[in-house]
Amino acid sequence: MDHSAGGFDLQECHKGQRTWAEVNLDHLVHNLQVIRKMLPEKTQVLAVVKADAYGHGDRHVAAELEKQGVGFFGVSNLDEAVALRAAGIRGEILIFGYTPAASCRVLADQRITQAVYSLSYARALSREAALAGCRVQVHNKLDTGMGRIGFACAGGTACIEELRTVYQLPGLQVTGTFTHLSHSDSRDDDAQAFTQQQRALFMAAVAALQKEGLDTGVLHIQNSAGILLHPDWNYDMARAGIILYGQNPAPECAGMADLRPVLELKSCVSMVKTVAEGTPISYGRTTVTTRETRVATIPVGYADGYPRILSRRASVLISGRRAPILGNICMDQMMVDVTDIPGVQEGDLVTLFGTDGPETITLDELAELAGTISYELTCMLSLRVPRVYIRNGQVVGQVQYNNPQALLASEVTDGSRLRR
């Protein structure tokens, strides 16, 4: 393959890989533009790139979004935040979850903002910051109905008293206040009433703090579903997660915005053979052919992150047509029925989700078959699946997690070199 700055042909990429995930940067930028147009002009977008950007590859995704003017990123933990800094990401980074208080020096030195969600945690972080002689920027996280981490806002004045104390703690600087909506992805009347209740609790707490002259900093409440269903909420920032990647927060949100899927999973046919009627296929002989059948084997399995529960339920695309999965999906391989697809041969392109010609297999379709959500499917993609970054039909970067020496100098979206 030609790894020059000009990129290389996708067909060459196909020849060089067993299985890979294509990340369409043009679609990523398109989705960002759609989100920005939905929101008030003053509302900035926080790009959620936790969990390796939902399986899309956090460093390449963040680099592309930063190039497009995104200045705030959300991650789950300190390791993710430090990795972004090591990759050259300069924007603000907010850690949503737990960071050991003893890591306060790293937070301060790396300019990473930490969510503070309880008084005990805030005090621990303050103590460590005082010992280290540093100051950590924090966003106060309020629990308005998620029942997860956060200062409980439904319990009277205790929440305000605790938040007031946080402002007095040495070594901490409050630069933001936020909450998380638990049921905003449903258009059901009861769910939307609960969402409005969460918003009311949040605003009451913010108003109480501001009345005392306390700076609540950047205010943010909307997640992806909140952006879609309540784009006119006029906050300082909105957290765009799954919609950045062109997926719906829930099936009932489909069609609410012109989103384009960013990720496609591809592979190739490794073998084709014809078997007689009555031939058992795969472990447990769960499929027995009912006719003479052409069986294609594909080098993808549950170890690659393709769920075994899709055995005998899902299909893949070959030559723009659906090929049903036969038998149980194996750790590293699966078999599909190509009897009705003429001319299938070894090396042919396979699309596990994405578009091939007139046919598309969506993540929502697979999620419904698997009894899960699209988020889980993208996050399940394993480290042995390379991520290949596409712009204008050309490969502009690649990450091979299981081969750290491969393509270490692959082009990042701004033309710089990605550090690992």
Domains of the chain: 25-253 (3.20.20.10), 263-385 (2.40.37.10)
pLDDT per position as a tens digit, 317-334: 999 999 999 999 999 999
* pLDDT tens per residue across span 143-192: 999 999 999 998 778 899 999 999 999 999 999 999 999 998 988 999 99
Give tens-digit pLDDT for 50-67: 999 999 999 999 999 999
Catalytic residue among 15, 37, 273, 283: 283
Task: Confirm if 45 and 70 have CB atoms less than 8 A apart.
Answer: yes
Q: What are 208-231's pLDDT values in tens digits?
A: 999 999 999 999 999 999 999 999
User: What was the pLDDT predicted at 175?
Assistant: 99
The 3-state DSSP class for residue 242 equals: helix
Q: For this structure, is 141 an active site residue?
A: no
Tell me the longest C-alpha to C-alpha distance in the chain: 80
> So what's the pLDDT on residue 406?
56
How confident is the model over 262-320, as pLDDT tens digits? 999 999 999 999 999 999 999 999 999 999 999 999 999 999 999 999 999 999 999 99
Q: Which contacts (CB < 8 Å, 24+ apart) does range 371-378 have?
A: 371/309, 372/307, 373/250, 374/242, 374/247, 374/248, 375/54, 375/242, 375/247, 377/305, 377/307, 377/353, 378/54, 378/55, 378/56, 378/245, 378/247, 378/263
Report pLDDT for 416. 40
From the candidates 50, 117, 302, 375, which is the catalytic residue?
50
Nearest 5°: the CA angle 420, 66, 49 is 65
